[in-house]
Structure 1
Amino acid sequence: MTQDGRVTGFIDWSFAEIGDPRSDVAVATHELTEPDREAFVEGYGPAARLTPQEAAYFLEVALLF
Protein backbone atom coordinates (compact mmCIF):
# COMPACT_ATOMS: atom_id res chain seq x y z
CA MET A 1 0.00 0.00 0.00
CA THR A 2 1.34 3.39 -0.89
CA GLN A 3 0.44 7.01 -0.45
CA ASP A 4 2.16 9.86 -2.27
CA GLY A 5 4.73 7.43 -3.66
CA ARG A 6 5.73 6.08 -0.23
CA VAL A 7 5.06 2.68 1.27
CA THR A 8 2.59 3.19 4.11
CA GLY A 9 1.79 -0.40 4.96
CA PHE A 10 1.68 -3.93 3.74
CA ILE A 11 -0.58 -6.92 3.94
CA ASP A 12 0.84 -10.25 5.08
CA TRP A 13 -0.65 -12.99 2.92
CA SER A 14 1.56 -15.80 4.28
CA PHE A 15 -1.40 -17.77 5.66
CA ALA A 16 -3.90 -16.84 2.96
CA GLU A 17 -5.72 -19.77 1.43
CA ILE A 18 -8.80 -20.72 -0.48
CA GLY A 19 -10.97 -22.85 1.71
CA ASP A 20 -14.06 -23.24 3.76
CA PRO A 21 -14.56 -20.27 6.11
CA ARG A 22 -15.83 -22.67 8.76
CA SER A 23 -12.22 -23.73 9.36
CA ASP A 24 -11.42 -20.12 10.33
CA VAL A 25 -14.31 -20.13 12.79
CA ALA A 26 -13.23 -23.45 14.30
CA VAL A 27 -9.65 -22.27 14.81
CA ALA A 28 -10.70 -18.87 16.15
CA THR A 29 -13.09 -20.30 18.72
CA HIS A 30 -11.63 -23.60 19.90
CA GLU A 31 -9.86 -22.15 22.96
CA LEU A 32 -12.56 -19.65 23.94
CA THR A 33 -14.79 -20.02 26.97
CA GLU A 34 -18.44 -20.70 26.23
CA PRO A 35 -19.52 -17.06 26.89
CA ASP A 36 -16.72 -15.77 24.66
CA ARG A 37 -17.59 -18.30 21.95
CA GLU A 38 -21.23 -17.17 22.06
CA ALA A 39 -20.16 -13.52 21.76
CA PHE A 40 -17.93 -14.38 18.80
CA VAL A 41 -20.75 -16.24 17.04
CA GLU A 42 -23.18 -13.39 17.66
CA GLY A 43 -20.73 -10.83 16.29
CA TYR A 44 -19.56 -12.93 13.34
CA GLY A 45 -23.07 -13.82 12.24
CA PRO A 46 -24.80 -16.91 10.86
CA ALA A 47 -21.67 -18.23 9.14
CA ALA A 48 -20.14 -18.88 12.57
CA ARG A 49 -22.89 -21.21 13.71
CA LEU A 50 -21.24 -24.62 13.46
CA THR A 51 -22.58 -27.89 14.74
CA PRO A 52 -20.27 -29.59 17.25
CA GLN A 53 -19.39 -32.10 14.53
CA GLU A 54 -18.49 -29.34 12.06
CA ALA A 55 -16.40 -27.51 14.66
CA ALA A 56 -14.45 -30.68 15.49
CA TYR A 57 -13.94 -31.58 11.82
CA PHE A 58 -12.81 -28.14 10.65
CA LEU A 59 -10.53 -27.68 13.66
CA GLU A 60 -8.87 -31.02 12.91
CA VAL A 61 -8.41 -30.10 9.25
CA ALA A 62 -7.07 -26.62 10.06
CA LEU A 63 -4.57 -27.97 12.59
CA LEU A 64 -3.06 -30.26 9.95
CA PHE A 65 -1.42 -27.21 8.42
Structure 2
Amino acid sequence: MSRKHESKTNGGKTEAEKPNASQLQQEIEQLAYKLYCECGYEHGHDLEHWSEAERRILERHRGKGTKGG
Protein backbone atom coordinates (compact mmCIF):
# COMPACT_ATOMS: atom_id res chain seq x y z
CA MET A 1 0.00 0.00 0.00
CA SER A 2 1.01 3.62 -0.40
CA ARG A 3 2.41 5.94 2.28
CA LYS A 4 -0.74 8.01 1.91
CA HIS A 5 -2.85 5.10 3.16
CA GLU A 6 -0.47 4.38 6.06
CA SER A 7 -0.62 8.02 7.05
CA LYS A 8 -4.41 7.99 7.30
CA THR A 9 -4.49 4.93 9.54
CA ASN A 10 -2.21 6.46 12.19
CA GLY A 11 -3.90 9.81 12.65
CA GLY A 12 -2.29 11.55 9.69
CA LYS A 13 1.27 11.22 10.99
CA THR A 14 4.04 9.03 9.75
CA GLU A 15 6.12 7.15 12.29
CA ALA A 16 8.92 9.70 11.93
CA GLU A 17 6.56 12.57 12.83
CA LYS A 18 4.98 10.96 15.90
CA PRO A 19 6.84 11.81 19.10
CA ASN A 20 7.57 8.87 21.35
CA ALA A 21 6.96 8.93 25.10
CA SER A 22 10.58 9.79 25.83
CA GLN A 23 10.51 12.79 23.48
CA LEU A 24 7.25 14.04 24.97
CA GLN A 25 8.56 13.71 28.52
CA GLN A 26 11.73 15.59 27.60
CA GLU A 27 9.72 18.44 26.06
CA ILE A 28 7.45 18.57 29.12
CA GLU A 29 10.45 18.62 31.49
CA GLN A 30 12.06 21.47 29.58
CA LEU A 31 8.89 23.56 29.53
CA ALA A 32 8.14 22.84 33.20
CA TYR A 33 11.65 24.05 34.10
CA LYS A 34 11.16 27.14 31.95
CA LEU A 35 7.91 27.91 33.80
CA TYR A 36 9.73 27.44 37.12
CA CYS A 37 12.39 29.92 36.03
CA GLU A 38 9.79 32.41 34.77
CA CYS A 39 8.07 32.27 38.17
CA GLY A 40 11.26 33.38 39.93
CA TYR A 41 12.51 29.91 40.94
CA GLU A 42 9.80 29.77 43.61
CA HIS A 43 9.52 26.32 45.15
CA GLY A 44 6.23 24.57 45.85
CA HIS A 45 4.66 24.92 42.40
CA ASP A 46 6.24 21.93 40.69
CA LEU A 47 2.95 20.13 40.06
CA GLU A 48 1.38 23.28 38.64
CA HIS A 49 4.34 23.82 36.32
CA TRP A 50 4.40 20.17 35.25
CA SER A 51 0.66 19.98 34.53
CA GLU A 52 0.73 23.26 32.60
CA ALA A 53 3.73 22.11 30.57
CA GLU A 54 2.08 18.76 29.91
CA ARG A 55 -1.12 20.44 28.76
CA ARG A 56 0.72 22.79 26.40
CA ILE A 57 2.98 20.12 24.88
CA LEU A 58 0.18 17.61 24.33
CA GLU A 59 -2.05 20.33 22.88
CA ARG A 60 0.76 21.38 20.52
CA HIS A 61 1.25 17.82 19.28
CA ARG A 62 -2.47 17.21 18.86
CA GLY A 63 -2.71 20.44 16.86
CA LYS A 64 0.03 19.27 14.50
CA GLY A 65 -1.98 16.14 13.77
CA THR A 66 -5.08 18.07 12.71
CA LYS A 67 -3.39 20.65 10.47
CA GLY A 68 -3.37 19.97 6.77
CA GLY A 69 -5.41 16.84 7.13
**TM-score > 0.5, shorter chain as reference:** no
Whichever structure has more helix as a proportion of its residues is 2
Q: TM-score when scaled to structure 1?
A: 0.28
Q: TM-score when scaled to structure 2?
A: 0.27
Whichever structure has more strand as a proportion of its residues is 1
